[in-house]
Structure 1
Amino acid sequence: MNIPQLQIQTTPAKLGLQIDKPIQEIEQPKATQNIEQPAAILEMSTTRPRLSLDSTENRADIDLKSTLRRSAENAQYGMQKALEGAGRRAQEGQQLMKIENGASLADVIKQSTDRPQADINVRFVGDRTKLQMSFSPGSLDTNVRTQKPIVDAQINRPIHNYTQGKVSRVMEQYNSIDIDWKV
């Protein structure tokens, strides 16, 4: 005997997910910097050294004398020669007064005309020991003032782009029931 059979066939539903991943972009721009270094301030002051040379005596040795000194020397020389002349005249007068003792006028004249012969020699002038020298040293003073750098820095915010992810449902397979009778 054939009994009818009931045949049931089911198909389950399949649910699928479609996922769009999120996108995140982060960019950090570099900081904006402006750095300036002012130059240092340098101040210098000097005192000049002084060298003083007095060559008056050396110049006098080579007969380069000032007018005041030459006038003083000429006045002294004139005074000395006047005194020598007066003394010589007095001595000649004394000798002439003693003519009776055998002195003659020719002897007096001979004494006044005989002069010693001048020496002719080479003479070096400009004795360095006569050079008077004085020296005062100079000085150098420096003052340096440094300047601080000028730093201008601006921090830039990060650039952040974010695209949100998305999940959507997709029905990949619908459920079904098939009922069948077999005889």
Structure 2
Amino acid sequence: MRIPQIQMQQTYAQLGLNINKPVQEIQQPRAELNLRQEPAIIEIRQAKGSLTIDSSEARENIDMRGPLRRTRDNADYGYRMAMEAIASISEEGDQLRSIENKQDAIVAISERESMPRESEIIAAGSIVGDGIEIRYNFQPLDIQVQERGKTMDPEIKRPIHNYKPGKVEGYMLRWGSLQIDVIGLHMDQRI
């Protein structure tokens, strides 16, 4: 005996999608720094130095002395000659007094006195160097620096953002179906 059967055929539904992708644009404009440096102020002060030129010794070297200086030099020369004469006389007296030492003091003194002496010039100056004395007293520099700083005024620019959203559209590519058949309804039965 045949039993009726149900036969099913199913097709699945298929969904199709149309996708438009989103578009995003981001632009970042550059920021502006706006930095300014104020110039510093520098003040330089130089006090005047003093220059001293002393040519008095050079004038003396070429015998251009003033009357006071010439008088003082002559007095010094006279004093020095007097002291040398006193010393010489005293030395000769000491030599004559020591005759008991069996030295011939009179011969030694006369021999020394008979020799020519170096001639001395009263008004002669020294000829060493040029005789000009130069002195310079400098004053130090005074440098004042005044910093004036900087100013900064940044200008920040916001980003430019453009966004076009995407779109998804669904559609049925194939509809689902279910087909049901009954097999074996017609029975041929013989008893």
Q: TM-score, normalised by structure 2?
A: 0.50
CA contact (8 A) 1:58 1:125 kept: no
56-65 or 16-25: bigger deviation: 56-65
Cα gap change, 1:38 to 1:127, in 2 (>3 Å): same
User: Which amino acid in 2 is paired with 1:155?
Assistant: I
Name the counterpart of 1:15. 15
Name the counterpart of 1:155. 156
1:165 aligned to 2:166? yes
Q: CA RMSD in A?
A: 4.1
CA distance in 2, matches of 1:60, 1:125: 8
User: Which amino acid in 1 is paired with 2:143?
Assistant: T
Aligned length: 134
Unaligned runs of 5+ in 1: 77-118
- Describe the SS at the equivalent of 1:143: strand
User: Which amino acid in 2 is paired with 1:28?
Assistant: Q
Q: Provide the identity percentage.
A: 37
- Describe the SS at the equivalent of 1:171: strand
Unaligned runs of 5+ in 2: 72-118, 187-191
Name the counterpart of 2:34. 34
Cα gap change, 1:10 to 1:142, in 2 (>3 Å): same
Name the counterpart of 2:142. 141
Cα gap change, 1:17 to 1:62, in 2 (>3 Å): same
- Describe the SS at the equivalent of 2:33: strand
Cα gap change, 1:5 to 1:57, in 2 (>3 Å): closer
Shift of 1:59: 1.9
User: Which amino acid in 2 is paired with 1:145?
Assistant: Q
Cα gap change, 1:151 to 1:126, in 2 (>3 Å): farther
Shift of 1:63: 4.8
